[in-house]
């Protein structure tokens, strides 16, 4: 469900984005889409076109294609070859690319893997207005395999890093944050301890005022923290 932090920052399913940069001609990506709830919600509200990418076959089959949303069966990762995918069966069926040092097999399947650059070529896109990324720690592989030119062709990236799942991811996430800073992206972290809701804005494409940068970087994050504390208190 869409939430409106203010007139500029909107949030859906744990991902925050800068809404004024989107319109009916925008092209957006929902990477790690599950059943594409995020893509459908934003597309229906704004009218932009989405490409939803999901690796788990059963979730992919549940994605409804519309005039505004097209589905693609891939795992976004670091190489163009099949990936061994571990299926997690909790309250929601989801999965992640299996690590070579993970001896706990569980249920695994092979899924088609594709790099971010190759996916851009697949859909014939030169510039992407928004990329939402929630690919269960494969974001590290994805960034490592993505050249600077491809990253700079994206106007805004909203991503859930998975450093809260594995301490080994803390250093790679920090390395990615430094890289994005070196490329000129403005970085906004809306979660307190880890990097579960991060927004990268490319100022070469999206101009926001210094006052808004300050508000997004400091006031919005603190306000959300206060709202979470109050919400927890109301449940006790």
Average pLDDT of the segment spanning 174-192: 96
Percent of the chain past pLDDT 90, that is, above it, reads 70
From the number of C-beta atoms within 10 Å of its C-beta (0-12, 13-18, 19+), residue 189 rates as middle
Q: Greater confidence, 187 or 229?
A: 187
Q: Which residues contact 182 (CB under 8 A, 6 or more apart)?
A: none
Across residues 121-130, what is the average pLDDT? 98
| Burial class of residue 40 (count of CB atoms within 10 Å of its CB; 0-12, 13-18, 19+) | buried
Question: pLDDT of 52-76, one tens digit each?
Answer: 999 999 999 999 999 999 999 999 9
For the entire predicted model, the pTM comes to 0.89
**CA dist., res. 139 & res. 129, Å (int):** 19
Percentage of residues in the chain with pLDDT exceeding 70? 83
pLDDT above 80 for 96: no
pLDDT, tens digit, 9 for 90 and up, residues 131-143: 999 998 899 999 9
pLDDT at 42: 97
Which residue do the tokens 């800073």 mark? 181
Domains and CATH numbers, the chain: 2-80+113-235 (3.40.50.150)
Q: How many CB atoms lie within 10 A of CB 73?
A: 16
């Amino acid at each position: 469900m869409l939430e409106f932090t203010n007139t500029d920052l909107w949030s859906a399913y744990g991902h925050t984005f800068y809404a004024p940069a989107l319109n009916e001609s925008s092209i957006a990506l929902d990477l790690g889409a599950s059943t594409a709830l995020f893509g459908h919600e934003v597309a229906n509200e704004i009218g932009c076109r989405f490409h939803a990418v999901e690796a788990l076959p059963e979730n992919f089959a549940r994605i409804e294609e519309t005039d505004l949303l097209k589905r693609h069966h891939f795992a976004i990762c670091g190489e163009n070859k099949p990936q061994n995918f571990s299926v997690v069966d909790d309250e929601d069926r989801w999965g992640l690319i299996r690590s070579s040092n993970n001896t706990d097999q569980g249920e695994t399947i092979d899924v088609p893997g594709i790099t971010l650059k190759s996916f851009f070529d697949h859909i014939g896109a030169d510039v992407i207005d928004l990329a939402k990324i929630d690919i269960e720690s494969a974001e590290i592989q994805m960034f490592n395999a993505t050249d600077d030119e491809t990253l700079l062709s994206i106007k805004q990236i909203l991503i859930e890093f998975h450093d809260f799942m594995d301490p080994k991811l803390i250093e790679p996430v920090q390395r990615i944050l430094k890289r994005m800073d070196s490329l000129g992206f403005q970085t906004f972290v809306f979660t307190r301890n880890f990097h579960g809701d991060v927004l990268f804005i490319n100022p070469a494409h999206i101009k926001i005022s210094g006052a808004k940068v300050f508000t997004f970087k400091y006031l919005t994050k603190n306000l959300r923290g206060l709202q979470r504390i109050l919400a927890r208190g109301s449940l006790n």
